[in-house]
Homo-oligomer: A and B are copies of this chain.
Amino acid sequence: MKIVCSQSELLKSITTASRAIPTRTTTEILECLYIDAHSDTITVTGSDMAFTIITKVKGDIIEEGNICIHNKILSDIIRKLPEEDICIESDDSQNVFIDCLNSKFKIGGREGREYHTPNDFSEEKGFNISNYNLKEIIRKTIFSITDNDANKIMAGEHFEIEGRTLTVTALDGHRLSMVKHNLDDDYGKFDVIVVGKVLNEIAKIYAAEKEDSGEITRISVSENSIKFVNSQTTMISRMVEGKYYNINQMISGDFDTVLRINKKDFLDSIERASLLIRDTDRRPVVIGIGEESIELKITTSLGSMNEIVPVEMEGNEFVIGFNPKFIIEALRVIDEEIIEVKLVNSKAPMKIESSDGSYLYLILPVNIGA
C-alpha cells in the first residue's frame, strides 16, 4: 500500500477513528488502526469489535492495499509532523514507512487481513437528523444512564420515533431524562436502544458541530446493528437487546405544586450545598418549599449550609430531600433562564419540564426521615 494525504486530513480521520479503540485490551490487533486504500477510496478504521468507526480520508492512492498500524504510535507521529503532505507506505514484511519533508519514520505494522471489519449491513429502516441536533440530544440526556455495565438497558438510551417525533430517554433508577425533537419527515415507527458509550463518542466527534452547518447524519438499523453515517464517517454499533421501560406512568400524574425559579440561582445554590458532601458522608440536600421562596439546607460532618432562593409557587408547602448531584446534572444542560419545577409531595419525584415539551427531567427524592 502507498498513499499520500495531507497531515490535517490524516490527523482528523485518525482522531475520529481512534475513538472506537478500547483504552484497555489484551487483543493487540484492537490497538491498531486499519488503513485501507482501494477503488479511489482511502479509509481509516478503529474498532473495539462491538463499535466500529470508519472514516474517509482525501488523498492519492499510489498503490492499493491495506495495513494495521498501532494507533498510539501512528497518532503521535502524525500529530507531530508539519502541515504538509505525508506518504504512508507498507512493504510485504509489514514495515510501514512514513515520510514527510525531511522526516522519515519506519515502524512495524500488522497484516490488514488480521483486522475484523463489520459484516454487511442491510438497512431495514432509518431517519435523518442534523449532526448538531444529535449532539445536543445526547448532551441533554446521557448523564442519566447508569455506569453499571451489568444493566445493559439502563446503560443505553432509548431512541423512539412516532411519525415526525423523536423521543430520546435515559434513566438509571434514580432519575430520568427525556428530550423530544421534531424530525424533517414522517419516519413511521422506530424503537431501539443504543449503547451509551457509543453515543458519548459520537457527541465527542460532533463536539465542534454548529447549528447552521447543515451536516446530516443518517441513523439506520439492520437486524442487530445500528449505523450512523455522515459525509465522512460511518459508525456501526451492536444494538442493546431487550425492551425499554414503559415510562409513561412514571412521568404522568398530578404534579400539583409548581415552582417558577431562576435556573442559575437554583443551580448555584445546590452546587454550594454539595460542597459539604464527601464520598464517605453522602447526605441529601433538604428543600423546604414556601410560598415566596425555597430554603435549601444540608448538614454533614464538615458543617452546614442554608440558603434562601426566591420562587413563585402554586400548591402546597412541604419539605423534600434530594441527592444534589441529580438536580445539578439536569440544571446544567437546561438553557432556559426560568424553569418550572413540579412536585407532588415529599415521597414523589420532582419533574422539571419545558412548556413546549422539548425536555423533561424526573428526579426521585430521598428519604429524610421525620
On whether the beta carbons of B303 and A105 are closer than 8 Å, the reply is: yes
Residues of B within 8 A of A106 (CB): 303-305
Q: A123 within 8 Å of B by Cβ?
A: no
**Contact residue among B73, B96, B105, B275 (Cβ-Cβ distance under 8 Å from A77):** B275
On whether the beta carbons of A305 and B104 are closer than 8 Å, the reply is: yes
Tell which of A127-135, A194-202, A306-314 binds the partner: A306-314
On whether the beta carbons of B307 and A82 are closer than 8 Å, the reply is: no
Q: A76 within 8 Å of B by Cβ?
A: yes
On whether the beta carbons of B303 and A103 are closer than 8 Å, the reply is: no
Residue-wise, chain A 61-100 has the 8 Å CB interface mask toward B (1 for contact) of 0000000001001001100111000000000000010000
**Given that A76-B275, A80-B268, A272-B80 are known contacts, is A103 also in contact with B302, CB under 8 Å in the complex?**
no
On whether the beta carbons of A73 and B307 are closer than 8 Å, the reply is: no
**Contact residue among B73, B81, B275, B303 (Cβ-Cβ distance under 8 Å from A80):** B275
Docked complex: A294-336 residues within 8 A CB-CB of B: 302-309
Chain A, interface residues (CB within 8 Å), range: 20 to 34
Greatest chain B CB density within 10 A among A104, A302, A304 is at A302
CB nearest neighbor in B for A303: B107
Q: A108 within 8 Å of B by Cβ?
A: yes
Residues of B within 8 A of A81 (CB): 272
Copies in the complex: 2
Q: A102 within 8 Å of B by Cβ?
A: yes
Q: A292 within 8 Å of B by Cβ?
A: no
Q: A271 within 8 Å of B by Cβ?
A: yes
On whether the beta carbons of B306 and A104 are closer than 8 Å, the reply is: yes
On whether the beta carbons of A305 and B80 are closer than 8 Å, the reply is: no
Within the complex, what minimum Cβ distance (angstroms) separates A332 from chain B? 14
**Given that A73-B302, A107-B302, A302-B107 are known contacts, is A80 also in contact with B307, CB under 8 Å in the complex?**
no
Residues of B within 8 A of A307 (CB): 102-104
On whether the beta carbons of B304 and A103 are closer than 8 Å, the reply is: no
Can you list 24 A-B pairs, Cβ within 8 angstroms, ordered by A? A73-B276, A73-B302, A77-B272, A77-B275, A80-B271, A80-B272, A81-B272, A82-B268, A96-B303, A102-B307, A102-B308, A103-B269, A103-B307, A104-B306, A104-B307, A105-B272, A105-B276, A105-B303, A106-B303, A106-B304, A107-B302, A107-B303, A107-B304, A108-B303
Interface residues of A (CB under 8 A from B): 70, 73, 76-77, 80-82, 96, 102-108, 268-269, 271-272, 275-276, 302-309
